[in-house]
Amino acid sequence: MFDADMFDETSPSHFKRNAGVKGFVDNWDDADGYYRARVGEVLDNDRYEVTGEVGRGVFSTVLRATDREGMREVAIKAIRANDVMYKAAQTEVVICKKLSGADPENKRHCVKLLRYFEFREHVFMVFEPMSMNLREVLKKYGRNVGLSVLAVQKFAKQMLVALKHLKNCGVLHADIKPDNILVNDKHNLVKVCDFGSAMFDGQNEITPYLVSRFYRPPEVVLGLEYSFPMDLWAIGCCLWELFTGRIAFPGKSNNEMLKLFMDMKGAIPKKILKKALFTDKHFDDNYNFSLMEEDPVSKTMIRRIISNPKPGKDLDLLASHGKGLDDHERLKVAQLADLLNKMFDLDPEKRIKVSEALQHPFVKEPKN
């Protein structure tokens, strides 16, 4: 077991594998290395009693539990038991500890890490509990139609506060999506969670598959250097989805994602394409876009050249979404469209900054 007070955040190597419990691995893990918790099981020296399983992702299982010491509910993230996941957990704990330590009043809308410990070859991270994620909120309250623009406004401000906190701490989340934004039981408070893909700015490697595909920005797809604007793009995708009930860029591949970007915003500037590492995968020597499509007859992939893409998916279409809006709601929808237009700038250097987004009229209401 290890404890926060024993952990030096500058040295992830201070994690120590507990070699004395390897005999439990076969009994307590499934074939993929997920921890198989039992309801009623007690973890960490009889402190946390497992009451259920919230869900399972690529990296971990999330459990519901009761903290017997504090007599409160908690969420416990059990990292999968393999060397790659174990190493990633070291970074995640360091990042969560930094974010929580820099937010002593718990007002920055990042889910708070309470403790962490090691047991049966797994790293367990204990977080404050929340009710559900925004994906679940959309399914329950806004399937195919979205949420009210005033609800989106409230969530947008909180998500941007979280993003500013991340930037102040030098952290890139790198996997912002509705699934990774939690909501409380009153549905008036959201917090960004799941820092399993997060990194400190400057430690990033160029890869075309960072961030879940629907929320992946052009700079990642094309192989440019990326930084904080990456997460802001993903927040924009979340806001679009919250309001419309539909995914903004539902591409089936990186190639199709680029087509959808240009459908909304027009041609990608050549100065970007000239710097990008993966331009030749999607553009010819004259920077004409090559769309890979399935031939309806032969069912084989064919290449279609698009030489001068024009924006057709007008952001103003948001204004037509929803019926019976009052004057204030229509104004907020127009402001949301303007904010998203700035968040979806294809050039990350020209994309609106998080500090500017927090001052945008959609987010910041004028004082009376």
pTM value is 0.89
302 pLDDT band (50/70/90 cuts)?
confident
Which pLDDT score is estimated for 57? 83
DSSP characters for 176-196? -SGGGEEE-TTSS-EEE---T
pLDDT band at 317 (very low <50, low <70, confident <90, very high): low
Give the tokens for residue 164.
Answer: 């500013």
Return the percentage of the chain with pLDDT > 90, whole number: 71
Q: Which of 33-42, 103-112, 163-172 has the lowest mean pLDDT?
A: 33-42
The model's pLDDT over 270-284, given as tens digits with 9 standing for 90+, comes to: 999 999 999 999 999
Q: Give the type of residue at 307.
A: S
Please write the tens of the pLDDT for every residue from 199-253: 999 888 889 999 999 999 999 999 999 999 999 999 999 999 999 999 999 999 9
pLDDT of residue 16: 43
Provide, rounded to the nearest whole percent, the portion of the chain with pLDDT above 70: 90
Catalytic residue among 29, 44, 67, 175: 175
Higher pLDDT, 35 or 10: 35
**Biggest alpha carbon distance in the chain?**
66
130-178 tens-digit pLDDT: 999 999 999 999 888 899 999 999 999 999 999 999 999 999 999 999 9
Question: What is the full DSSP assignment across 287-319?
Answer: --EEEEEE-TTT--EEEEEESS----S-GGGGG
Bigger pLDDT: 314 or 268? 268
The residue that leads in pLDDT, 267 or 301, is 267
What is the model's pLDDT at position 307? 84
Q: What is the mean pLDDT of residues 358-366?
A: 92
- Residue 123: the pLDDT is 95
pLDDT digits (tens, 9 = 90+) for 115-136: 999 998 899 999 999 999 999 9
Nearest 5°: the CA angle 110, 114, 118 is 120
Quick one: average pLDDT of 291-295?
Answer: 86
Is 295 among the catalytic positions? no
